[in-house]
């Protein structure tokens, strides 16, 4: 018995180490890709702070924050998805199940359309800078509405003791309220405002700066730490609410805090980067198919897989868009979904 | 010893009463069987004991300690539960059983937790399954894993809800034997609901017949008479005696 268990444990460790190595390697490799057509040697020189100042700036001010953002947001969204799926006992659950993304999009739209907030980017919008507008206005508004939505829905679900079915449906309902409000807002928008608002919703890692990376990293790390600490309780939750309660888990408290943490992670990522779909659904499922549902393994594995997918997608997005990057949100689905289907219908998947 | 005193339960202030002053006593090492029609309140009573549901009134004492006032962790070390619909995540058998030790460890399972699980798996003849995923197992095997997980809590009281519900005859007998062994060898009190009256006669020491949220009859198997069964189940049954054993027949004798 001990031997077989040891073998399982070794395999899991091997997979985690491999994933970590792959993520690191990819992150490094991604520093060499971009629309500026810098050669590998030039990129390496810039990384070592040699070469032209423009090249150094491209690498240190654009590529590194962007790669970091891919790692952080990918990990955050993926882990949030996993925790949502466990908590709601629903394979369709995603980081935005509580309608967080829709609320963030509404907040951003409100900022851009109604207040002409610092849209699109921090540095790029010269007019706003000149006017002294807060470059983070749109992100702040997006986050404010996302947080408002989270609190509203968690408050509502408290009334029904966080029954998973109720939470999912309430999330859909609240999400559709925000979507409807966004539609009305867009109906009254000017052409420029509308296009700016729509472009904002396309997930784009190019908006990342060191400051946004630090904020995202803090939230993602705090959430991840909480999930790891709750690992065994989440494992117990897989046996259903009644069994988990009888094993000593305060199910309602666990569900409240883990959904809060997952939603906050999502809110921060969406507020800074826009919508990046599907990472939170694909990555946890791939991990669960291959490694099972033990959260001691699936949490770190999901985080790493999320980083890897977003790094791949972003590099792809930067490489094929002539001179400007395609929205990474579309690429994650475009790249991820076929891979996901392949795993879903593979033999290995069928036995689980 | 489990003592339930005047337990009442309703799912909301205006909802109908599910349990209407239930009182019962079960000794250590004794197997109590709850019987009654669907909706009589059996599952609600069992869930109240393990802390899944919160009763609106009354007391549940174990060896004098109030189960309702305990923290979940403390209660989990005293009372374990095998629910009616058994679910497992895609975890190994070993880890699934180890989850039962959660009320003993915080973040990481200690050495005594590991050895407790090893002992239980060996004891139940499950050691060959240890590293396999629970999702690969059959219904009977999963039922055994659920019992093993409950035992990992080292409970003094074990609560089963319809443990043989979806099992074939061989697995049914297996579970019944296991339950009896736990009660008789380890002195664990066992309280279970059962549909099959013959299985109940076979397994139980003490019977509690529930109707409309109240315990109508209590006692040993001598309590099980045609009159009692007809009253409780509102259906026609006969009791025959074969090889000195009483067998309840619930069909095949209707007059055309």
CATH no. for residue A119? 1.10.3470.10
Please name the member of B130, B133, B159 whose beta carbon is closest to the beta carbon of A4: B130
CB contact under 8 A, B72 and A249: yes
Please name the member of A235, A248, A294 whose beta carbon is closest to the beta carbon of B76: A248
What order of strands is seen across the sheet that includes strand B206-211? Answer: B79-82, B157-161, B189-193, B31-36, B206-211, B214-219
Give the relative orientation of helices A2-30 and A295-320 as an angle to the nearest 10 degrees.
20
Q: Are the C-beta atoms of residues A248 and B103 closer than 8 Å to each other?
A: yes
| Mean pLDDT in order along chain B per 10 residues (256 residues) | 95 88 94 93 95 94 94 95 92 95 90 94 89 90 92 95 84 85 90 91 93 93 89 88 85 63
What pLDDT does residue B232 have? Answer: 92
What pLDDT does residue A134 have? Answer: 63
Class of domain B1-78+155-256: alpha beta
What pLDDT does residue A118 have? Answer: 47
How many domains is chain A partitioned into structurally? 1
Domain that holds residue A218: 44-350
Residues on chain B touching A284 (C-beta within 8 angstroms): none
B130 interfaces chain A, CB cutoff of 8 Å: yes
Best mutation target, A226, A246, A292, A301, to test chain B (most B CBs within 10 A): A246
Q: Are the C-beta atoms of residues A247 and B153 closer than 8 Å to each other?
A: yes
> Between residues A196 and B73, which one has the greater pLDDT?
B73
**Angstrom distance (rounded) from CA A111 to CA A138:** 5
From B54, which residue of chain A is nearest by alpha-carbon distance? A245
pLDDT above 80: residue A88: yes
| Closest CA–CA distance from residue B131 to any residue of chain A (Å) | 5
pLDDT digits (tens, 9 = 90+) for A269-316: 999 999 898 899 989 999 998 899 999 999 999 999 999 999 999 888
| Closest CA–CA distance from residue B1 to any residue of chain A (Å) | 19
What ipTM was reported for this prediction? 0.92
| Closest CA–CA distance from residue A310 to any residue of chain B (Å) | 26
B50 interfaces chain A, CB cutoff of 8 Å: yes
Of A238, A223, A243, A220, nearest to A295 (Cα)? A238
CB contact under 8 A, B76 and A1: no
pLDDT above 60: residue A348: no
Please name the member of B51, B52, B131 whose beta carbon is closest to the beta carbon of A5: B131
| Pairing verdict, β B31-36 and B189-193 | parallel
From A6, which residue of chain B is nearest by alpha-carbon distance? B131
Q: Are the C-beta atoms of residues A122 and A114 closer than 8 Å to each other?
A: no
> Between residues A122 and B16, which one has the greater pLDDT?
B16
From A290, which residue of chain B is nearest by alpha-carbon distance? B90
| Closest CA–CA distance from residue B24 to any residue of chain A (Å) | 21
Please name the member of B47, B75, B90 whose beta carbon is closest to the beta carbon of A288: B90
User: What are the residues whose beta carbons fall under 8 Å from the beta carbon of B87, sequence distance 6 or more?
Assistant: A238, A239, A240, A243
CB contact under 8 A, A235 and B107: no
What pLDDT does residue B253 have? Answer: 64
Q: Evaluate whether residue A36 is within a structural domain.
A: no
What pLDDT does residue B222 have? Answer: 87
What pLDDT does residue A117 have? Answer: 54
pLDDT above 50: residue A130: no
| Closest CA–CA distance from residue A176 to any residue of chain B (Å) | 30
Q: HSE-up of B250 (CA within 13 Å, CB side)?
A: 10
CB contact under 8 A, A245 and B95: no
pLDDT digits (tens, 9 = 90+) for B59-80: 999 999 999 999 999 999 999 9
Q: Which of residues 150-169 of B touch A (CB under 8 A)?
A: 153, 159
What residue ranges do the domains of chain B occupy?
Answer: 1-78+155-256, 85-154
DSSP assigned state of B45: H
Percent of residues, chain A, with pLDDT higher than 70: 91
pLDDT above 60: residue A349: no
What pLDDT does residue A323 have? Answer: 64
What pLDDT does residue A202 have? Answer: 87
CB contact under 8 A, B103 and A248: yes
Q: How far from A59 is each of A26, A124, A222, A323, B91, CA to CA, in Å?
A: 16, 18, 28, 16, 44
From B151, which residue of chain A is nearest by alpha-carbon distance? A247
CB contact under 8 A, B131 and A293: no
Grouping H, G, I as helix, E, B as strand and the rest as coil, residue B208 is strand
Q: Are the C-beta atoms of residues B62 and B156 closer than 8 Å to each other?
A: yes
**Angstrom distance (rounded) from CA B253 to CA B245:** 20
Among A32-36, A146-150, A252-256, B125-129, the minimum mean pLDDT is found in A32-36
What pLDDT does residue A125 have? Answer: 47
B145 interfaces chain A, CB cutoff of 8 Å: no
From A233, which residue of chain B is nearest by alpha-carbon distance? B102
What average pLDDT does the structure give for chain A?
86
What pLDDT does residue A128 have? Answer: 47
B91 interfaces chain A, CB cutoff of 8 Å: yes
CB contact under 8 A, B92 and A229: no
Q: Are the C-beta atoms of residues B8 and B17 closer than 8 Å to each other?
A: yes
What pLDDT does residue B151 have? Answer: 93
Secondary structure string (H, E, C) spanning chain A: CHHHHHHHHHHHHHHHHHHHHHHHHHHHHHCCCCCCCCCHHHHHHHHCCCCCHHHHHHHHHHHHHHHHHHHHHHHHHHHHHHHHHHHHCCCCCCCCCCCHHHHHHHHHHHHHHHCCCCCCCCCCCHHHHHCCCCCCHHHHHHHHHHHHHHHHHHHHHHCCCCCHHHHHHHHHHHHHHHHHHHHHHHHCCCHHHHHHHHHHHECCHHHCCHHHHHHHHHHHHHHHHHHHHCHHHHHHHCCCHHHHHHCCCCHHHHHHHHHHHHHHHHHHHHHHHCECCCHHHHHHHHHHHHHCCCHHHHHHHHHHHHHHHHHHHHHHHHHHCCCCCCCHHHHHHHHHHHHHHHHHCCHHHHCC
Residues of A engaging B, defined by a Cβ cutoff of 8 Å: 1-2, 4-5, 7-8, 86, 229, 231-233, 235-236, 238-243, 245-250, 288, 292-294, 351-352
Residues on chain B touching A242 (C-beta within 8 angstroms): 47, 50, 52, 81, 83
Of A336, A337, A156, nearest to A259 (Cα)? A156
| Closest CA–CA distance from residue B99 to any residue of chain A (Å) | 6
B103 interfaces chain A, CB cutoff of 8 Å: yes
CB contact under 8 A, B72 and A245: yes
pLDDT digits (tens, 9 = 90+) for A197-209: 888 888 888 888 9
Residues on chain A touching B147 (C-beta within 8 angstroms): none
Grouping H, G, I as helix, E, B as strand and the rest as coil, residue B140 is helix
Q: Are the C-beta atoms of residues A72 and A310 closer than 8 Å to each other?
A: no
Q: Are the C-beta atoms of residues A49 and A197 closer than 8 Å to each other?
A: no
Please name the member of B80, B128, B135 whose beta carbon is closest to the beta carbon of A352: B135
Please name the member of B72, B81, B99 whose beta carbon is closest to the beta carbon of A235: B99
Residues on chain A touching B85 (C-beta within 8 angstroms): 240
What pLDDT does residue A91 have? Answer: 85
Residue contacts between A and B (CB atoms, under 8 Å): 106
Please name the member of A231, A232, A248 whose beta carbon is closest to the beta carbon of B72: A248
From A351, which residue of chain B is nearest by alpha-carbon distance? B136
User: What are the residues whose beta carbons fall under 8 Å from the beta carbon of A25, sequence distance 6 or more?
Assistant: none
What pLDDT does residue B133 have? Answer: 92
B94 interfaces chain A, CB cutoff of 8 Å: yes
User: Alpha-carbon dihedral of residues A272, A277, A279, A281, nearest 10 degrees?
Assistant: 130
pLDDT above 80: residue A126: no
List strand residue ranges (DSSP E) for B79-213, in order: 79-82, 157-161, 189-193, 206-211
From A229, which residue of chain B is nearest by alpha-carbon distance? B107
């Amino acid at each position: 018995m001990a031997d077989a268990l040891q073998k399982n444990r070794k395999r899991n460790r091997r997979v985690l180490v491999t994933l970590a190595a792959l993520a690191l390697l990819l992150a490094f490799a991604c520093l060499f890709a971009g629309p500026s057509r810098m050669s590998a040697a030039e990129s390496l020189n810039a990384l070592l702070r040699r070469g032209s100042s423009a090249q150094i700036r491209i690498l240190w001010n654009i590529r590194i924050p962007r790669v970091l953002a891919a790692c952080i947001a990918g990990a955050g969204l993926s882990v949030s998805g996993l925790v949502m799926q466990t908590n709601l006992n629903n394979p369709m659950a995603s980081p935005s199940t509580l309608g967080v993304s829709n609320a963030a999009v509404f907040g951003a739209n409100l900022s851009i359309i109604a207040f002409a907030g610092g849209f699109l980017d921090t540095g790029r919008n010269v007019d706003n800078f000149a006017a002294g507008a807060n470059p983070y206005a749109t992100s702040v508004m997006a986050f404010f509405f996302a947080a408002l939505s989270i609190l509203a829905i968690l408050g509502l679900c408290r009334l029904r003791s966080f029954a998973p079915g109720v939470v999912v449906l309430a999330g859909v309902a609240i999400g559709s309220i925000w979507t409807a409000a966004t539609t009305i807002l867009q109906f009254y928008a000017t052409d420029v405002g509308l296009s700016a608002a729509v472009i904002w919703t396309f997930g784009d890692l190019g908006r990342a700066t060191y400051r946004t990376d630090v904020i995202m990293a803090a939230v993602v790390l705090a959430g991840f730490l909480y999930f790891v600490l709750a690992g065994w309780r989440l494992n117990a939750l897989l046996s259903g609410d009644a069994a988990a309660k009888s094993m000593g888990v305060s199910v309602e408290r666990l569900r409240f805090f883990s959904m809060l943490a997952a939603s906050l992670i999502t809110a921060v990522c969406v507020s800074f980067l826009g919508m990046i779909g599907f990472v939170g659904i694909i990555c946890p499922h791939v991990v669960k198919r291959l490694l099972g549902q033990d959260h001691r393994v699936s949490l770190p594995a999901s985080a790493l897989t999320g980083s890897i997918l977003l790094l791949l997608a972003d590099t792809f997005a930067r490489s094929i868009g002539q001179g400007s990057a395609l929205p990474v949100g579309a690429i994650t689905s475009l790249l991820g979904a076929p891979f996901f289907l392949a795993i879903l219908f593979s033999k290995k998947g069928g036995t689980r | 010893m489990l003592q339930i005193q005047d337990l009442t339960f309703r799912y909301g202030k205006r909802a109908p009463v599910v349990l209407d002053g239930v009182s019962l006593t079960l000794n250590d090492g004794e197997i109590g069987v709850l019987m009654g029609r669907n909706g009589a309140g059996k599952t609600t009573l069992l869930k109240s004991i393990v802390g899944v549901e919160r009763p609106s009134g009354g007391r549940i004492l174990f060896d004098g300690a109030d189960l309702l006032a305990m923290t979940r962790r403390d209660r989990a070390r005293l009372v374990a539960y095998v629910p009616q619909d058994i679910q497992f995540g895609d975890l190994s058998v070993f880890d699934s059983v180890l989850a039962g030790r959660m009320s003993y460890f915080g973040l990481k399972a200690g050495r005594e937790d590991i050895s407790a699980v090893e002992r239980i798996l060996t004891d139940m003849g499950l050691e060959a399954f240890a590293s396999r995923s629970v999702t690969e197992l059959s219904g009977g095997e999963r039922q055994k894993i659920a019992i093993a997980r409950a035992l990992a809590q080292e409970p003094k009281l074990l609560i089963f809800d319809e443990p043989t519900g979806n099992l074939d005859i061989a697995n049914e007998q297996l579970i019944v034997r296991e339950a009896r062994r736990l009660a008789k060898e380890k002195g664990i009190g066992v309280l279970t609901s059962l549909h099959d009256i013959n299985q109940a006669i076979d397994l139980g020491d003490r019977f509690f017949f529930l109707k409309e949220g109240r315990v109508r009859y209590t006692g040993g198997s001598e309590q099980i008479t045609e009159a009692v069964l007809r009253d409780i189940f509102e259906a026609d049954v006969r009791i025959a005696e074969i090889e000195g054993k009483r067998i309840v027949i619930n069909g095949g004798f209707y007059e055309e």
